[in-house]
Structure 1
Amino acid sequence: DTYGPDQEIPLQGPFTNYAVGGHQSRHIAINTGSDMWYNRAEAWKILLGTCDGYNDDHNLTGAIGLTAPDYPWPEANEVGVLPYPMTASNKAWLYRDFVSKRPVNIKNMRITTSSQTLGNFTKNYEVVNTIGAFENPRAFIENQPTLPSQAFQNLATASTNVRTILDIHRDANGHFVLFDEYNTGYLSGTENKSVIVSRFAAPGGIETMGKGYLDFRGSEFSVYNCILNRNLSVIKPSQASTGSLSELIGSGTAGIRVSDIHGRDFGLRSHLSRHSARFGRDSHIVTSSGDL
C-alpha cells in the first residue's frame, strides 16, 4: 500500500483505510483459524519443501518457492482440466477501486445486515430513484403476467384495468364471473427498489386499493378514484329504494359488505329516495314502533 519513489503510505483515517483504495491482499481480515487455502483470498503463495533429489555434498536440505495464488497446490483441478491456473483458489492480486489510498471517500457504500463498518445507504432508492410505476413498469416488464382474455375484447383493447366494482361479489351466489382469476404477485416482488409507486386511494376500499382493481402496469391508478366514481359501494346508485337485499353470505372478497344503520346493505341513494316516516323513521325498514 505504498506509492511513489519514497514508498510512503498515504494519509487515511480508519474508515477510508478500510474502504478506499489499496491492494486487495492488504485488506483481507486476519485468519482466526477458519480460513483455508480454498476460501481465503491471497496475492501469492509461499511454498516450503525438501530437496530429496540432491546429494549430500550440496548441503541443501529444503526449498522455498513464491508462486501466484492460483498455483495448483495443495490440490490441482479435476482430471482432464489443465492444472494451471487453479480455479478453486481465491485471488487477491488486484488494487481496489482506483488504486490510490485517498483520504476521503467519494462513493456510495451499501449497509447490509452483515456489514461491520459504516456506509451511507441501505436501499437503492436512497441513492437513485424515480417516481411513477406506470411510466416505469419494471415489475410488469420483467415478470409478464397472464391476464384474463376477457379484459381485451371488443372496445376494451386499450384498457389498463381488469377488475370492476361488479367483480367484488363475483364468488357469491347469483353473481356472474366477468373475468377469470389472475395472479397479481408480479406487482409485489422485491427485485426493484428504485421505482417509487405513487398511489392515491380515496376514500379507500377494495376498488381503490386492491391490486386487481388498479392498473396492471404499475398498480397506481383506479377508475374509482375519479370524483364521479367514488364511494360507489356506499352510494350504490343502481339500487332501487326498496327491494331484496344482496345475500349476506360469502368469505374473502365475496363476503365484503357495506351496511347501513339498520345492518342492511342498502346504499345512500336508496335511503335518499325514500320518504321519511313518522318521527324520522325509515319508511321501508321501520314501519311501526314494534320494529324499533
Structure 2
Amino acid sequence: AGLDSSDAGIQQSKIATHIATLNEVEFENKSLGGLINGDYELTCLYGSQRANQKANIILPLIQSEKVGNSIFLTKKDRPIIDQELVKNFADFSVEIVNSRTGRNTIDPKKLPLRFTISGKGGFFDSSDASLIGHHLDMYYGDDFQSPLQGPFTEQHVGGYKHRHTEVGQSEDRPELYKIENYGGGNKVQIFNPRQDFAGSTYDMNIPRVKFSREELVKRVYNTKNIKTTTNSRHLGNFTKNYEVVNTNGRRENNLAFRDQGGFNVTGSESTVVSGVVDFALPNRALSDGTYNKTVIVNRFSAPGEVATLSKGYLDVESSEYSPYNAIPYRNREVVNNFNEFLKIPSAFGGFESGSTTTGSFHKVQRNRVNKLRQTSAGVIYTGSQFDNGFVAHNIPRKDFGYRWITSSADPSLSMDGLYGFATSSDGITFLSGTLRDFESSDDYFINFVGISTPGEFSAFAGYHFEISEDENLLTVP
C-alpha cells in the first residue's frame, strides 16, 4: 500500500516518522504550578525561561504527532484582581492532557493566548467572550509587541506560515492549532489541527504549522539570500545564483560535462553548404534537469561576426573558445571578400578592371609587364601580368617602362628590356641616330648630337643656316 493508504498500520508508520527523539524534562511547581512529565521537550516561552528556548516551537504541548494531546482552558468565576481593572480579560485555568502522562495543570501565563469577555467570539459558552492572540505572528516576549518591520522583512523574516499564506492558493491553509468549545460548558479545547475534536483519530494529510519560518524572531533586518523566481508573488533579493556566489571558467568548472560523462556529438556534412559539418549543440543541463547559474562562462572574443560568438563555432566542451578569434582567421567573411577585390588590378583612370563606375580597391597603378606564355598546344604567345594587392613591384617593372628608353632603344632587339630588366650590355640595343627622308628615294643618317647633315645636302635652302660673327646674324647660305 502507498503512503496515502488509510490502513491503520500505514497511518501509524507515518505518524512515527514525524516523532523526533524527545527528551523528558521535569518542571518545578514554581514554574508551571505542578509537576509535568511529557514525551516532548517543553521549553518555556516567556519571562525568565526564555533563555532555555532551543527551538522555534509555539505550543510544544500539542506538537506531538499523535492523538490524545490537548490543552483545556476552564473559565473561573472570580477575577484575578479588581474586575474594573481587568474587565477585558477572563480568568481561566490551564490543564494539559497528554496521552502518556494524563492530566496536569500549568500556569496560564505560560500560554501565548489571551481571552476577553467582550466581543462576539462565542467562547466559554458565552457570546461575549472573544479570543485574542491567535492572529499574532510572534509568540515570544512578555508583551506580544511586533517589531517595526518593513514590507520586505515582514514578508520574509520570522513569524509563522499560517500568517503568511500566499494569496490565491487553492490548497487548505496550514493551521497552527484548532480551538473549539468543549462539552457545552465554560471550557475551551486547544488541539492539534490534524486531530479530530474527540481526540480519537489523526489525519496526516491535513496541513499544519509546527514550527516558525526558519527563525522565531521577527527581526527588523534580513540576513538571508532569498531567490526571486518566475512564480514568486513576493520579490526576494536575488534572481540568479551568481549574485550570491560565483566562479569563472566553464572549461575548468564544467558541471554539465561532468554530470553527463562528456558530450556525444556526431555530425554530418551539410547538404546545403559544401565543406560545412552540421551537428546538434550539446545539452548543458545538469543531472536534475536544471542549468548551472553559478559558473560564469569566459568568452575570449573580438566581437564583430557570428563566427566568434555563435555557439556552433565555439569549442563543444565548454563553449568558450573559437578558432576564428585568431588574427589570421578573424572576420573571415569580410576579409575573404576584401581579398577578392584586392586580386583585381587597377584599370586606367583608377577604376576596377572591367568596370567604368567602380573604383579600384587596390588604388595603385597596374604596372604591366609582358610575359611569354604557352598554350596547351605548345604555341608561344605574349601575355601580361599586373600588380595587385598581393603582388607589388617597383614602378616601372621593366626597362621599356621608362620613356627615355622607349625613345632610344630598339624594342625588336631588346628582348630583356621588353619583358623585364636587362641584365647585360647585350640585353638592350640603343640607337645613336635616325634616318631622315630628304624628299628623295634615299634615307640619310642623322645623329643625335646635332642637326648635322651630309655635306652634299648643305646647299638645300631651309636645312641649315650660317652665322655671321661680325654682324651676329643668321644667313642663308
Residue aligning to 2:284: 186
Identity %: 35
1:10 and 1:102 in contact (8 A); partners too: no
Residue aligning to 2:164: 28
Residue aligning to 2:310: 210
* SS of corresponding position for 1:186: coil
1:42 and 1:92 in contact (8 A); partners too: yes
Q: What is the aligned counterpart of 1:11 among 128, 142, 147?
A: 147
Q: TM-score, normalised by structure 2?
A: 0.38
Q: Cα deviations across residues 210-237 of structure 1 (Å, max 9, x unaligned)?
A: 212101233221011111221223333x
Q: Cα deviations across residues 204-263 of structure 1 (Å, max 9, x unaligned)?
A: 333212212101233221011111221223333xxxxxxxxxxxxxxxxxxxxxxxxxxx
* SS of corresponding position for 1:279: coil
In structure 2, distance between residues paired with 1:291 and 1:91: 82
Alignment of 1:196-207 (within 5 A): 196-207=296-307
Q: What is the aligned counterpart of 1:68 among 176, 186, 192?
A: 192
Alignment of 1:1-292 (within 5 A): 1-4=138-141, 6=142, 8-9=144-145, 11-15=147-151, 16-25=153-162, 27-29=163-165, 39-46=172-179, 65-71=189-195, 84=202, 86-113=203-230, 115=232, 117=234, 119-142=236-259, 145-148=263-266, 170-172=270-272, 175-176=274-275, 179=277, 181-186=279-284, 191-236=291-336, 267-283=337-353, 286=354, 289=356
CA drift at 1:41: 0.7
In structure 2, distance between residues paired with 1:18 and 1:290: 73
Q: Cα deviations across residues 136-173 of structure 1 (Å, max 9, x unaligned)?
A: 223444455421279xxxxxxxxxxxxxxxx7xx4336
Q: CA RMSD in A?
A: 4.1
The total of aligned residue pairs comes to 216
CA drift at 1:40: 0.8
Letter matched to residue 183 of structure 1: L
In structure 2, distance between residues paired with 1:212 and 1:107: 40
In structure 2, distance between residues paired with 1:24 and 1:226: 58
Q: Which segments of 5 or more consecutive residues in structure 2 lack a partner in the other structure?
A: 1-137, 360-477
In structure 1, distance between residues paired with 2:222 and 2:180: 37
* SS of corresponding position for 1:208: helix
1:39 and 1:90 in contact (8 A); partners too: yes
In structure 1, distance between residues paired with 2:181 and 2:212: 27
In structure 1, distance between residues paired with 2:165 and 2:303: 55
* SS of corresponding position for 2:313: coil
In structure 2, distance between residues paired with 1:229 and 1:182: 24
Relative to 1, partners in 2 of residues 1:65 and 1:222: Cα closer, same or farther, differing over 3 Å?
same
Q: TM-score, normalised by structure 1?
A: 0.57
Q: Cα deviations across residues 16-61 of structure 1 (Å, max 9, x unaligned)?
A: 3432223444x2349x9x878x621111234578x8xxxxxxxx69
* SS of corresponding position for 2:195: coil
CA drift at 1:290: 9.8
Give the number of the structure whose residues are more often strand, by fraction.
2
In structure 2, distance between residues paired with 1:282 and 1:40: 81
Relative to 1, partners in 2 of residues 1:119 and 1:203: Cα closer, same or farther, differing over 3 Å?
closer
In structure 1, distance between residues paired with 2:185 and 2:218: 42
Relative to 1, partners in 2 of residues 1:72 and 1:225: Cα closer, same or farther, differing over 3 Å?
farther
CA drift at 1:67: 3.0
